[in-house]
């Protein structure tokens, strides 16, 4: 197993990785030729109780992809290109097959996002976790030119919010979703309006927006990006908006995916709570000036995306 795990990691390596898996630290050579004022951008995250769905279904090859893509998005919205990723796994009782599948997922997503899986830690913690349970987190480091950092400082009243579709719940809202859905439905049931069994629907891989963001940044000046995670559209996008400004969200401008409607109906959840917990079908928001709205929409559509105006800054 160790040999296969090393193989998954090495499949992500590039010329800048100077160390093998298994040393006390990982070595990564920075290539700064393209940068005048390089800035390292980092983030750490987990996938929450989406893990419980993976554990119940005994399907562990996508949860690693969720984690990498989530971390990648968090630095991509800042204008950074991912360099390398490190993982942390903690098991109640180490299961080599599960660990291998999780790390396989890390490898798949790291290759897709062009970053190296250069190291990690695997812990066995009986007494803290039950034998079947595990937890994971990831740390990502990327790089950006200082002048190209995106932090929302130029956002002003009248700017437009353009949303891009999510691929489901992504990695947020699972505690509430499990609470209301699993008392009524089985994970193997295909419910009306869904194309997959409920469990497969809930395990849809968190979408990476790196390629889209990179493409947009080459062609247009985006004032800010919001990765829609815990806290919903307003909670995350307000992190970019300065004091004195607010958001007017056009909640009826897009069709909310069926999975969110099922959650709301099953739990008799208010619109307000749904909006504060889930992405409701919008995984990324780009904020641009009103004059750039149509240009961004056209560029995105030509890139194969389905942008929608979801609000404005007021």
Report residue 309 as tokens: 């105006």
Please state the pTM of the whole predicted model. Answer: 0.96
- Which has the closest alpha carbon to 266: 189, 185, 196? 185
Task: Specify the pLDDT at position 21.
Answer: 83
Are the CB atoms for 102 and 64 separated by under 8 Å?
yes
Are the CB atoms for 225 and 277 separated by under 8 Å?
no
| Structure-derived torsion over alpha carbons of residues 130, 47, 200, 108, reported in degrees to the nearest 10 | -110
Report residue 228 as tokens: 């829609």
Q: What is the rounded distance in angstroms from the CA atom of residue 252 to the CA atom of residue 229?
A: 20
Q: Which residues are within 8 A (CB) of 183 and not within 5 positions of it... i.e. 6 or more apart?
A: none
In order of their start, the domains of the chain are 2-148 (3.30.1330.10), 160-313 (3.90.650.10)
For CA atoms 44, 164, 203, 187, give the dihedral sign: positive
Are the CB atoms for 5 and 100 separated by under 8 Å?
yes
Edge-to-edge strand list for the sheet holding 38-46: 38-46, 134-145, 81-91, 116-124
> Residue 218 CA to chain centroid, in angstroms?
22
pLDDT along the chain (314 residues), means of 10: 82 94 91 95 97 97 97 98 97 94 97 96 94 96 97 95 97 97 96 94 98 97 96 96 94 96 96 97 98 97 97 97
Task: Specify the pLDDT at position 1.
Answer: 65
């Amino acid at each position: 197993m160790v040999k296969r795990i090393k193989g998954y990691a090495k499949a992500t390596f590039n010329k800048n990785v100077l160390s093998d898996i298994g040393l006390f630290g990982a070595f990564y050579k920075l290539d700064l030729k393209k940068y005048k004022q390089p800035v390292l951008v980092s983030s750490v995250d987990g996938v929450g109780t989406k893990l419980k769905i993976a554990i119940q279904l005994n399907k562990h090859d996508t949860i690693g992809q969720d984690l990498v893509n989530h971390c990648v998005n968090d630095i991509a919205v800042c204008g950074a290109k991912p360099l390398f990723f490190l993982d942390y796994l903690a098991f109640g009782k180490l299961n080599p097959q599960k660990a291998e599948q999780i790390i396989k997922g890390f490898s798949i997503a790291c290759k897709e996002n062009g970053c190296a899986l250069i190291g990690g830690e695997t812990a066995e913690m009986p007494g803290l976790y039950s034998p079947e349970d595990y937890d994971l987190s990831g740390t990502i480091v990327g790089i950006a030119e200082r002048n190209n950092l995106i932090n929302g400082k130029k956002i002003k009243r009248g700017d437009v919010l353009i949303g891009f579709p999510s691929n489901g719940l992504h990695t947020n809202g699972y505690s509430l979703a499990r609470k209301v859905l699993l008392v009524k439905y089985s994970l193997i049931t295909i419910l009306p309006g869904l194309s997959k069994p409920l469990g497969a629907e809930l395990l849809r891989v968190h979408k990476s927006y790196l390629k889209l963001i990179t493409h947009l940044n080459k062609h247009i000046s985006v004032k800010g990006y919001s990765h829609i995670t815990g806290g919903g559209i307003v909670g995350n996008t307000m992190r970019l908006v300065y004091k004195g400004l607010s958001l007017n969200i056009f909640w009826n401008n897009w069709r909310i995916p069926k999975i969110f409607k099922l959650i709301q109906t099953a739990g008799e959840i208010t619109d307000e709570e749904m909006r504060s917990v889930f992405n409701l079908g919008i995984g990324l928001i780009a904020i641009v000036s009103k004059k750039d709205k149509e240009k961004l929409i056209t560029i995105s559509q030509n890139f194969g995306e389905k942008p929608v105006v979801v609000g404005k800054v007021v």
